[in-house]
Amino acid sequence: MTSPLARLGAASLACGALVLSAAPALAASGDTSAPSVRIAAGYRFFVGTALEDSSDTASLPAAVTWKQYDASGICKRSVTDYYDPTGDSYDFPLAPSATSYRFDAMDRERQSDDLTMHSTDCASPSNTSSVQLPTHSATLQQQDVFTLDSGWRQQTCRCWSGGGDVASTRVGATATYRFDASSIALIGVNGYQRGKADVYLDGTKVATVDEYVQDRSKGINRGVVWTRRFAASGPHTLKVVSTTTRKFDIDAVVTTQERL
């Protein structure tokens, strides 16, 4: 289990959905408004990262992102991470220009983190806003949540999440998963003998996933091969269709729900 002490603040591009601001601290003159925040809906997962899976928990790198505005600019920023299993809180300083906070989304113990971002502008005297970021709850589900046609077969290996996955070498083999979430990550296997599949979301083709890697040393078990975040939590249908006779693997899916 990864504690918040191992988490990093990172900069990335944000896309927004929700505008939040705190009541300003009164200044003697000049800028008296606290920084305003525009938070992106859904947590961002990263293709090429690996799911860490053990007997008591599972974790996957993720990030919450935002845009922020203040007339005087931002001079100081930090995130307080309240860690649910222990009740401890940790303060992480971020660069004033940071637009994301990276952490480990977790499952199995169903814990969640309460994240509060503190931003101080460059006015004199300064103004600070403290905004609670969306609380996340991540859920790992094995490949058996997919409805499979006859083109898929079960495989076992301790190297995969839950000790197994499903794979297909038949063009047109289809796997379908219905879910309700604000973010999703498809977990597969990147390797030398792997193939491709088309990904459909709510009936529309959105990606072609290629699990093939030429360099055998760069293969990834339990790797994120496709991900999507949505403007809000809601019901969706994911369909994976094999397009080659090389083996395409489905290991698991990770979904998240957020609440403010």
- Residue 210 is predicted with a pLDDT of 97
4-134 and 140-259: same fold? no
Structural contact between residues 106 and 139, judged by C-beta atoms closer than 8 angstroms: no
Nearest to 151 by CA among 197, 211, 192, 184: 197
Structural contact between residues 186 and 209, judged by C-beta atoms closer than 8 angstroms: yes
- Residue 110 is predicted with a pLDDT of 46
Number of alpha carbons in the 13 Å side-chain half-sphere of residue 252: 25
- Residue 249 is predicted with a pLDDT of 97
Question: Which secondary-structure segment (H or E) carries 3?
Answer: none
- Residue 169 is predicted with a pLDDT of 96
- Residue 17 is predicted with a pLDDT of 34
- Residue 83 is predicted with a pLDDT of 66
Structural contact between residues 172 and 245, judged by C-beta atoms closer than 8 angstroms: no
Q: Report the DSSP pairing between strands 248-250 and 164-168.
A: antiparallel
Helix (H/G/I), strand (E/B), else coil: 181: strand
Per-domain boundaries in the chain: 4-134, 140-259
Per run of 10 residues, the mean pLDDT along the chain (length 260 residues) is 40 32 43 83 85 74 87 92 72 92 68 78 92 78 94 92 92 97 93 95 98 88 94 93 97 81
Domain 140-259, classified CATH 2.60.120.260, yes or no? yes
Q: What is the CATH number of domain 4-134?
A: 2.60.40
- Residue 176 is predicted with a pLDDT of 98
What pTM value is reported for the model? 0.80
Give me the DSSP letters along 75-136. Answer: EEEEEEEEETTTTEEEEEEE-TT--EEEEEEEESS---EEEEEEEEESSSS--EEEEEEEEE
